[in-house]
Amino acid sequence: MKRDCPTIQELLALDAVARHSSLTLAASSLCVTTSAVSKQIASLESFLGTALLQKVGRGVELTPVGRSYWLKITGSLRNLETATYEARAGADTHVLTLSCVPTFFTRWLIPRLPRFRQAHPRATLSFSRHLAPLENLPAHVDAAIRYNPADYAGVVNEYIAGREFVVIASRELMQGLHKIQNPSDVLAHTLLHHEEAQGAWSQWAAVHGITHQLLITGPRFAQYSALIQAARCGLGIAFVPLILVEDELAEGVLVTPFDGSTAVEHGHYLCYRPDRMQFPAFAQLRQWLLGEGGSQEAVPNPPGHP
């Protein structure tokens, strides 16, 4: 019978070469010989009728067709690995693949994960790359924690945390020539902005009755970690989620010139397709995340779910 798909050995060989950009390293990762990897790649190229690899110096890289093909199959290979792990581990074990924006991941989520692991030891979390702002949720990702996510059909967005913002600056800047004693004093400084929170400073200014063109000027940053570091180094004043700078404020490396925080229309959300609620481990993760972000009481299921 004529086959319509490549063999798993051929696909694994291509995946290994794509990840290592080397036949030798790919062979080592698969515990086979370099010759075996070369034969699998050659067989796959013959099956597809096109070249997948090209030499670059002493190494190799994927051709444009090869990269396009690999990007389409790599998610399926990860799903096969996950399904195999779950089957070998037992019926009550489930691997959840999550994507998360970097600063929230390192500063808020990771420090809390030991509590989730202790409460739900049979659930295993695997973390994928974070998604671009307008990128839809990939099929192989169970959920994504995103900042101000777009509305996509069939995707539920539930707020976790991060709406409370504070103005932050380095202690040296606060003690410099242009001291900040009143809200309008911030206009004498460079304002630092997050690319996905363009209106945050304007929302803060509206609370304090300030209107000025300078509120929309200043450097832009793609990640809050870089924005916070810029404030620490004295490049300007930032307006950021309180949950991301609690350690710096407690240690005194950053200070806030105003008491309290300001609620803005921004935040971090759990984004997932409703069918994931059929997995007990995901339902547990959702309830835990929303509980950590708000009250510790049980969080009800979204409408339409038992």
Helix (H) or strand (E) holding 191: strand 191-194
Question: Judging by DSSP bridges, how do beta strands 143-147 and 220-221 pair with one another?
Answer: unpaired
Going by C-alpha positions, the residue among 280, 277, 264, 294 that lies closest to residue 159 is 294
- Rounded to 10°, the helix 64-89/8-20 angle is 110
- Which residue has better confidence, 40 or 128? 40
Share of the chain above pLDDT 70, in %: 91
Tokens of 268: 């971090």
In the predicted structure, residue 90 carries a pLDDT above the cut 80: no
Cα–chain-centroid distance for residue 137?
12
pLDDT digits (tens, 9 = 90+) for 251-300: 999 999 888 889 998 999 999 999 989 888 899 999 999 999 984 444 45
Q: What is the mean pLDDT of residues 49-71?
A: 89
- H or E element at residue 269: strand 268-272
Residue 72 banded pLDDT, cuts 50, 70, 90: confident
Position 248 scores a pLDDT of 94
Q: Tokens 């063109």 correspond to what residue?
A: 213
What pLDDT is attached to residue 160? 96
d(CA 73, CA 61): 17
Q: What is the pLDDT of residue 166?
A: 95
pLDDT for the residue 260: 84
- pLDDT class for 2, splitting at 50, 70, 90? low
Does 86 score more than 70 pLDDT?
no
Q: How many other β-carbons are positioned within 10 Å of the β-carbon of residue 76?
A: 12
Q: How confident is the model at residue 302 (pLDDT cuts 50, 70, 90)?
A: low
DSSP secondary-structure letter at 109?
Answer: I
Q: Alpha carbon of 98 to those of 54, 62, 265, 291: distances in Å?
A: 33, 27, 24, 18
pTM over 0.85: no
Per-position b or e across 238-257, b if 16+ CB within 10 A of its CB: bbbbbbbbeebeeeeebbbb
* Mean pLDDT across the chain: 86
pLDDT beyond 50 at 306: no
User: Which of 105-109, 140-144, 228-232 is predicted with the least confidence, judged by mean pLDDT?
Assistant: 140-144
Q: What is the pLDDT of residue 244?
A: 96
Q: Which domains does the chain have, with CATH numbers?
A: 8-85 (1.10.10.10), 92-161+267-293 (3.40.190.10), 164-263 (3.40.190.10)
Predicted confidence at residue 305, as pLDDT, reads 47
Whether the per-residue pLDDT at 104 is higher than 80: the answer is yes
- How much is the pLDDT for 303? 47
pLDDT of the residue at 301: 53
Lowest-pLDDT choice from 86-100, 152-166, 182-196, 224-238: 86-100
Tell me the pLDDT tens digit for each residue of 158-198: 999 999 999 999 988 888 777 888 888 888 899 999 999 88
Mean pLDDT of 18-45: 90
